[in-house]
Amino acid sequence: MKIQTRATLGQDWLRCYQPRPSARIRLVCFPHAGGNAAFYRSWAARLPDEVELLAVQYPGRMDRASEPLIRRMDEMASRAAAAVAPLARIGPVLLFGHSLGASVAHETARRLTAQGLPPAALAVSGRPAPHRLRDSAVHLADDDTLWAELGRLGGTGNEVLDSDPIKELALPVLRADYEVAETYVPGPPDPLPVPTLAFTGDDDPEVTLDEAEAWAEWTRASFRRIAFPGGHFYLVPGESRVVGALLGPLSRGWGAGP
């Protein structure tokens, strides 16, 4: 079956860097706070021909810079689900999200499941389970404190951190994304019938192994936690290992279409 690409499905929200019209499986990736779709661009080349990568582009950044920023999880996930739903109707979809993106991916999975379109699998990275999220209000802090978060978490080079023009452009996006993350109220565990993987760096200050393990309470299907060497952005130097960990379950049947 020939599957349409983002040229006709979810074109506002989804970016496809290597279209694969004959792909049987879609890997939809959600960025971290302050991030954008291009974070996942290099992943596409690591995937087999049967898997097509689509990266989510939140409003207010890069080619969507003129659009209003989103500040609440409900709007973010509802609009993302609306973009992904057409893909889920025509073939299996695997959702992956890192940090804030993990929460958005999970909430997107909940909305798709409510529509009778559950994803084939969900992979969450660098984020405690919803009922184990930590209280914080960094989005209310001054600009310097908020900007310092990028340096604390790693994954951002000094050429970016020391650039005032980049800081001026990026701070509103970062603040809005932190507001999405920090005002999110997930409610009690509501397990999904979706196989779930929880990834984490073994030295990540944002999530302990126990907080990642707690994602098991949010699925009625299979669950596995995988720890990788590194901190919050372990997936940058560990890209090949992370993509390989996603492909393993796919090869064993997750996302296998009829």
Known active-site residue 78:
no
Which are the contacts of 169, defined by CB distance < 8 A and separation ≥ 6? none
Q: Is the dihedral of CA 161, 166, 172, 174 positive or negative?
A: negative
**Cα angle for residues 196, 199, 205 (degrees, 5° grid):** 135
The CA distance from 8 to 30, in Å, is 19
Calculate Rg over the CA atoms of the chain.
17
Q: Which of 99, 106, 125, 139 is catalytic?
A: 99
Q: Which of 98, 106, 139, 232 is catalytic?
A: 232
164: how many CB neighbours lie within 10 A of its CB?
7
Known active-site residue 32:
no
Q: What are phi and psi of 142, to 5 degrees?
A: -70, 165
**Total length of the chain:** 258
**DSSP one-letter code for 219:** B
Active site residues: 99, 232
